[in-house]
């Protein structure tokens, strides 16, 4: 997720507001920065996005104003903690201006510093995310015979799509990704990282998930200033974790399976005709406890050097 947003005077703040509102576990937005830089303007835009019909004004003289879905606090003259105000926070998003003046008990929050900056002789309102305790990830599994996509926030599955036994995932992949993002009001640049497996499994499936992740990784930095991370794991590690045994069978195609053996942390992969032994990954167990599986993934720093696990050389044409 990019951490710096630039807006001209009177320009819509939607790109930042939509991201903040997309954070399902968000408890508070902590605002600091220059006087008149746009703290109350941002709060007003967030309130409108949440459906607030009243006009949001600065609570300078009231210290706190409660709306239907939002609590707005001006902490300019406050010191200490917010204990006296916390009873008003239930089921509401809390926005605090001059937040550095107080201490708080929020676990899921975003801190934003707001400044004015001159760029090419034009004044911009700059909103820089200086601290974010919420991570939003996209999980993509295409190596197996199923298509599984999940939005994960702080190790909790927020929403998912599971299409079982797809022969050609490429026909539905981008449609389903767009469906998942649209129904959660998300854009791909809202994510901090993409998790995907790198095989063995379906030859085209393994490439599909990785290519999607790698393309976004390579484009986000120069085009969106988004520091997107790619997290990779061999497909078999998910099975070993779930099934708790040292031999598993992953479907290769209609006639073959990959027999994967793990002994003393050494992995061996062999093609087998024992298709009746193919293991089925239980996605419901993943949904209930994603952290068990996400811990198996490692960050990929150079997607161009990454090699997928085909376990056998694909033979397409030739001798």
Query: What is the pLDDT at residue 176?
Result: 96
Query: What is the pLDDT at residue 225?
Result: 67
For the domain made up of 136-300, give the CATH fold: Nucleotidyltransferase; domain 5 (3.30.420)
Region of residue 191 (phi > 0: left; psi between -120 and 50: alpha; otherwise: beta): beta
Q: Are 27 and 136 in contact (CB under 8 A)?
A: no
4-133 CATH choice from 3.40.50.300, 2.40.30.20, 3.30.1360.200, 3.10.450.50: 3.40.50.300
Query: What is the pLDDT at residue 312?
Result: 62
- pLDDT over 90, % of the chain: 75
pLDDT in tens, 134-165: 999 999 999 999 999 999 999 999 999 999 98
Q: What residue spans in the chain does CATH classification 3.40.50.300 cover?
A: 4-133
Distance from C-alpha of 15 to C-alpha of 2, rounded to nearest angstrom? 11
Q: Are 45 and 17 in contact (CB under 8 A)?
A: yes
Query: What is the pLDDT at residue 62?
Result: 80
Query: What is the pLDDT at residue 265?
Result: 85
Q: pTM for the complete prediction? A: 0.89
Q: What residue spans in the chain does CATH classification 3.30.420.40 cover?
A: 136-300
Query: What is the pLDDT at residue 319?
Result: 39
Query: What is the pLDDT at residue 36?
Result: 86
Low-confidence ranges of the chain (pLDDT < 50): 315-319
Q: Which long-range contacts (CB under 8 A, 24 or more apart) does 182-186 make?
A: 183/159, 184/22, 184/151, 184/158, 184/159, 185/18, 185/21, 185/22, 186/22, 186/151
């Amino acid at each position: 997720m990019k951490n710096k947003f630039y807006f001209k005077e009177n320009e819509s703040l939607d790109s930042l507001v939509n991201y903040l509102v997309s954070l399902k576990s968000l408890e508070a937005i902590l605002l600091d920065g220059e006087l008149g830089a746009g703290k109350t303007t941002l709060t007003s835009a967030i309130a409108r996005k949440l459906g607030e019909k009243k006009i949001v004004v600065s609570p300078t003289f009231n210290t706190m104003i409660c709306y239907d879905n939002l609590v707005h606090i001006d902490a300019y003259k406050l010191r200490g903690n917010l204990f006296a105000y916390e009873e008003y926070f239930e089921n509401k998003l809390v926005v605090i201006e001059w937040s550095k003046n107080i201490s708080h008990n929020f676990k899921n929050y975003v801190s934003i510093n707001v400044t004015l900056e001159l760029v090419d002789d034009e004044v911009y309102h700059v909103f820089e995310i200086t601290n974010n305790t919420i991570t939003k990830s996209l999980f993509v599994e295409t190596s197996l015979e199923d298509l599984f996509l999940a939005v994960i926030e702080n190790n909790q599955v927020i929403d998912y799509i599971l299409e079982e036994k797809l022969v050609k995932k490429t026909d539905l992949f981008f449609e389903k990704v767009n469906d998942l993002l649209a129904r959660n009001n998300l854009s791909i640049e809202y994510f901090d990282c993409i998790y995907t497996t790198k095989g063995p499994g379906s030859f085209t499936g393994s490439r599909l998930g990785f290519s999607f992740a790698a393309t976004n990784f390579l484009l986000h930095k120069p085009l969106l200033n988004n520091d997107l991370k790619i997290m990779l794991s061999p497909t078999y590690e998910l099975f070993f974790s779930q099934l708790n045994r040292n031999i598993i069978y992953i479907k290769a195609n209609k006639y073959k399976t990959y027999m994967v053996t793990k002994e003393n942390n050494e992995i061996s992969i062999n093609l087998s005709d024992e298709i009746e032994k193919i293991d089925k990954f239980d996605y419901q167990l993943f949904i209930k406890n994603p952290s068990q599986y996400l811990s198996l993934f490692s960050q990929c720093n150079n997607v161009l050097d990454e090699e997928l696990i085909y376990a056998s050389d694909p033979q397409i044409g030739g001798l």
